[in-house]
Structures are given as structure tokens and as C-alpha cells.
């Protein structure tokens, strides 16, 4: 497992502030009638205004600065001329590289007259994140986070996507360890002070199974149920202290 130095952690804080600014700009811009491509353009403009670069653009051929996933798309939705409609839920996932360091976060936003069921789904995803990071402490294990996310999500009647996980982060977008959103308490990699990870519940209003579209990127729920995504980059602290959330 990769433990970050003080200098590296400071670099990640700076990159994470860029991600937070881009997410805030996306939230303000999203409304009925805009396209997901226009949202992506706003995200890229903000990232570049800080002297950073969007990490996803060109990553294994991915074409855009952000992943924008609408309704039954869980993650990796490619921005397009798709128009946001009243009642949609829109997930925006952003990773930015600044001076060699990565920051990564995602949010799901409600647009217009969203159903109570969808608002609750979005809230459960967020609350599952916070349930998980109760165990994001030195001396715990990755599986402690995973099991807490799963337990909270399933007790609230939602499905936990199993084909996609959170991850370590640093100089690279994806570093060890993987951080699943399901698992058993007391299993997985040990957590150490100075580790940086992304915890990111991806949950559904239905079953946990997903499918990948022909574009090779877009991940949709298998049963057509709606999905929500909530992610932050965090630093594991020592002495039983709670983690530092960099993208809030």
C-alpha cells in the first residue's frame, strides 16, 4: 500500500480543491435543457482555469473531461447532445491532475421535479459514504469500509453495484488498494496513516447487476433502475482520528 509523504498529501489537497470547484460549477450549471456535453465543457473550463488537466480526457481513449451519467447510467456516461430533462438525476464524476497529483470526486444532482424516491436514493448514496468512512482509520481494513457501505445501503432498500469499486489515488488516478462497496468486516488490505483512497458508493434503486453499452464505457443498471454515485478523496489519519476529506 502506498503511504503519502507530507508533500504528497499537500499536492493532493490542491488537486482536490480543483475537483471541488469543478463540481460546484457543474451543480450551478445543470438545469433543464442543457446538454451533458455543455456540462462537460463547464467542468473542463474550470479545471484548466486552475492550471490543472482533466485526468479522464484521453484515459484509455475516453473522450471527455468528466463522466456524466443520467438516470439508469451508473458511471462512465460519455457527454453528448443528450438534453437534461425535468425529473432527471445527473451524476458527475471528475478527476483532475495538478502538479503531478490527482483529486477525484463524484456527486449525483437532482434536476427539477425529482421524485421523492430518487431524492432518497441520492441521499442514501451520500449517507453510505459517511457510514463507510467511520472505518477509514489506521488499524482498520478496507473490508470494514466496504461492509459498512453495503450494510447501510441494503438496510435502506437499495442495491450495491459490485462490478465497480473505489480505489487508492495519488500520482495516478487508480492506485492500490481497490475499495469495494461490499464485503466482510475484518478483511482486505490494512489501512495505514498517510494512505489516500477514494470511497465511492455506487448504488441503485433496484438490483446490483450492471451492463456495459457498446461504446465500451457507459455502465447502466441491468434492470433499468436509477442509480446514484457519491465519491470523495480522503486521507487516512493516525491515532484513531477520522479521515481528512479532501473534496468537500
Residue 90 domain-assigned (yes or no): yes
Query: What pLDDT, on a 0 to 100 scale, did the predictor assign at position 2?
Result: 87
Looking up residue 211, the CATH number of its domain turns out to be 3.90.230.10
**What would the pLDDT profile of 189-221 be if each residue is shown by its tens digit?**
999 999 999 999 999 999 999 999 999 999 999
DSSP the chain: -PBPPHHHHHHHHHHHHHHHHHHHHHHHH--TT-BHHHHHHHHHHHHHHTT-EETTTTGGG--SSSEEEETTEEE-PPP-SPBP-TT-EEEEEEEEEETTEEEEEEEEEE-SS--HHHHHHHHHHHHHHHHHHTT-STTSBHHHHHHHHHHHHHHTT-EE--S--EEE-SSSSSEEEEE-SS--TT-SSBP-TTBEEEE--EEESS-S-EEE-TTS--EEETT---EEE-BEEEE--STTPPPEETT-
According to DSSP, the residues that pair with 231 across neighbouring strands are 106
Residue 1 domain-assigned (yes or no): no
Across the chain, mean pLDDT equals 97
Residue 190 domain-assigned (yes or no): yes
Q: What is the mean pLDDT of residues 58-66?
A: 97
Q: What is the mean pLDDT of residues 130-148?
A: 97
Query: What pLDDT, on a 0 to 100 scale, did the predictor assign at position 166?
Result: 98
pTM above 0.75, yes or no: yes
Residue 119 domain-assigned (yes or no): yes
Residue 212 domain-assigned (yes or no): yes
Residue 201 domain-assigned (yes or no): yes
194 vs 226: CA distance, rounded Å:
35
Query: What pLDDT, on a 0 to 100 scale, did the predictor assign at position 239?
Result: 81
pLDDT at 1 over 80: no
The residues, any chain, with a CB within 8 Å of residue 211's CB and separated by 6 or more, are 219, 220, 222
Range of the domain at 101: 6-245
Q: What is the mean pLDDT of residues 176-188?
A: 97
**What would the pLDDT profile of 87-129 be if each residue is shown by its tens digit?**
999 999 999 999 999 999 999 999 999 999 999 999 999 999 9
Number of domains in the chain: 1
Q: What is the mean pLDDT of residues 11-34?
A: 98
Distances in Å between the Cα of 9 and the Cα atoms of 148, 185, 200, 243, 247 are 26, 27, 20, 13, 13
Amino acid at each position: 500500500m502506498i503511504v503519502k509523504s507530507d508533500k504528497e498529501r499537500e499536492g493532493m489537497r490542491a488537486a482536490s480543491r480543483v475537483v471541488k470547484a469543478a463540481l460546484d460549477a457543474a451543480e450551478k450549471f445543470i438545469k433543464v435543457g442543457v446538454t451533458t456535453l455543455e456540462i462537460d465543457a463547464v467542468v473542463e473550463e474550470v479545471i484548466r482555469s486552475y492550471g490543472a488537466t482533466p485526468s479522464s480526457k484521453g484515459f484509455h481513449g475516453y473522450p471527455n473531461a468528466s463522466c456524466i451519467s443520467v438516470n439508469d447510467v451508473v458511471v462512465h456516461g460519455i457527454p453528448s447532445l443528450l438534453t437534461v430533462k425535468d425529473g432527471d438525476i445527473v451524476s458527475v464524476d471528475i478527476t483532475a491532475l495538478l502538479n503531478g497529483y490527482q483529486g477525484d470526486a463524484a456527486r449525483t444532482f437532482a434536476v427539477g421535479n425529482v421524485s421523492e424516491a430518487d431524492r432518497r436514493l441520492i441521499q442514501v448514496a451520500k449517507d453510505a459514504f459517511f457510514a463507510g468512512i467511520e472505518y477509514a482509520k489506521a488499524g482498520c481494513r478496507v473490508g470494514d469500509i466496504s461492509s459498512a457501505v453495503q450494510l447501510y445501503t441494503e438496510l435502506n432498500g437499495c442495491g450495491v453495484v459490485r462490478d465497480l469499486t473505489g480505489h487508492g489515488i495519488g500520482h495516478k488516478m487508480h492506485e492500490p488498494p481497490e475499495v469495494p462497496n461490499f464485503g466482510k468486516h475484518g478483511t482486505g488490505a490494512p489501512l495505514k496513516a498517510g494512505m489516500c483512497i477514494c470511497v465511492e458508493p455506487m448504488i441503485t434503486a433496484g438490483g446490483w447487476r450492471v451492463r456495459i453499452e457498446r461504446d465500451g464505457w457507459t455502465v447502466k443498471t441491468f434492470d433499468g433502475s436509477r442509480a446514484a454515485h457519491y465519491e470523495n478523496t480522503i486521507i487516512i489519519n493516525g491515532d484513531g482520528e477520522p479521515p481528512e476529506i479532501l473534496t468537500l
